[in-house]
Each structure stands twice: as structure tokens, then as C-alpha cells.
Amino acid sequence: AQSVTQPDIHITVSEGASLELRCNYSYGATPYLFWYVQSPGQGLQLLLKYFSGDTLVQGIKGFEAEFKRSQSSFNLRKPSVHWSDAAEYFCAVGQYNNNDMRFGAGTRLTVKP
């Protein structure tokens, strides 16, 4: 069965600093990987996704993620964090148009002034 692990429950970074959120997955086949962001009391917004091709994926809001099959990882990065990036971030693994989509536990990002 597929699963997703986000090792960091809470991360605090200073505004302007770089950011990396970790995500490890377990999946028998080639995974479809996603990163979502959730602001308090809101739904989820898709940041980026990976299905195949270039392992470095560019997303919205300046985020990118790199798929590393050898490490079963799909870490999310941003070179310079803005205060508005403070939110909850979820990594997910699944299949296209399939209900078997699994979410990680989430990483809460706090941005210090």
C-alpha cells in the first residue's frame, strides 16, 4: 500500500531564508506525487505535481520540488520564503483519477519576521 511520510511536523524559518520541506513515499509503482498548501480554515491548493519526465518540477508561488527515486523522496523547496507562505503543507501520493490518494501528516510552516 502506498504511504507518505513528512518527517517534520513544524518548521520555523526567517523571512527571506530558504526552505526545504521533506517528503518520503512508499509506492510499488511509479508514483504520482503532489504538494498542496492549506491556509487556516481553508481548502487545499495544489502547488505542483510530478508524474514523469523532468524530475525537477516547478510550481506556483516560486516553489519547486525534486523527485528522487533512489531516495523515495519528493522534497519541496523555495529559495526565499515570504511571510505569506506561512501555512500547512501536505505531500500526497496517488494515481491519476484514482481515489487511492494518500496524504502525509502535514508540515506546519511558521515564518519569522
Partner 1 sequence: GAVVSQHPSRVICKSGTSVKIECRSLDFQATTMFWYRQFPKQSLMLMATSNEGSKATYEQGVEKDKFLINHASLTLSTLTVTSAHPEDSSFYICSTAREGNYGYTFGSGTRLTVV
Binding footprint of partner 1 on the chain (CB under 8 A): 32, 34, 36, 41-46, 49, 51, 90, 96-97, 99, 101, 103-106, 108
CB 63 within 8 A of CB 76: yes
Task: Decide whether 28 or 43 has the Cβ nearer to partner 1.
Answer: 43
Task: Decide whether 72 or 95 has the Cβ nearer to partner 1.
Answer: 95
Task: Decide whether 36 or 67 has the Cβ nearer to partner 1.
Answer: 36
For residue 44, the SS3 value is strand
